[in-house]
Structure 1
Amino acid sequence: MARADWAYDEPATRYELAIGVPEMTPARIILLGMIGVVFAVWAFLAFRALFRLAGVLRLRTGKMFPGPRDALSAPKVFLTDHLFRQDRKYLGLMTLLVLLLAAVSARQP
């Protein structure tokens, strides 16, 4: 029988030590929860803007399912139409917040 070169009661396995798995401190848990909530809000805002944009395209084209040619005008409508001003503002702020939290998470030891 082969002898194990490390004991099972050690706090971390060799694999965990090799890849540097961080310890789940309360600060990390809180940060992970914040990232989850912010990402959920970001996803809600993104899908809400997407469905509103689809509704505007339906009204402008008069078709229930606008085609690919109509969809090519969607980015311009989203970026310039006054109807999407609040969507652009909140989605942009949430995007910056997601990126900021990701950077903070990456910087934690």
Structure 2
Amino acid sequence: MSLDSKHIYNLFLLNLVLQLFDGLATYQGIKLGWEEANPLLVLGFDALGVGPALLLFKAKACGLLFLLHRLAPAPMLILVLSVLAGAYALLSFFPWLILLSGLLN
């Protein structure tokens, strides 16, 4: 496996893990009475319920990551996966981590 291939694979896995974390953290947050900020997801919650809507949205996100991983050229893929991971870290992972860690105090 080349260095680029390994880097792409690691970025792909990181994005999958961030999706999984976001789904689980959102589910726990909703169970604790917190509100979801994504209006599309809220519509999904109303139509399908929290668990099924989260599963559907996260399956779609992971499916799109898989298609991107399989079809995009390597230089663009590294950039896109890096930006996506950074966005999810800043907009999901760290905010949820801060909120959930407050429960431990």
Fold match, TM over 0.5? no
Q: State TM-score, norm by structure 2.
A: 0.40
Relative CO higher for 1 or 2, CA cutoff 8 Å, sep ≥ 6?
2
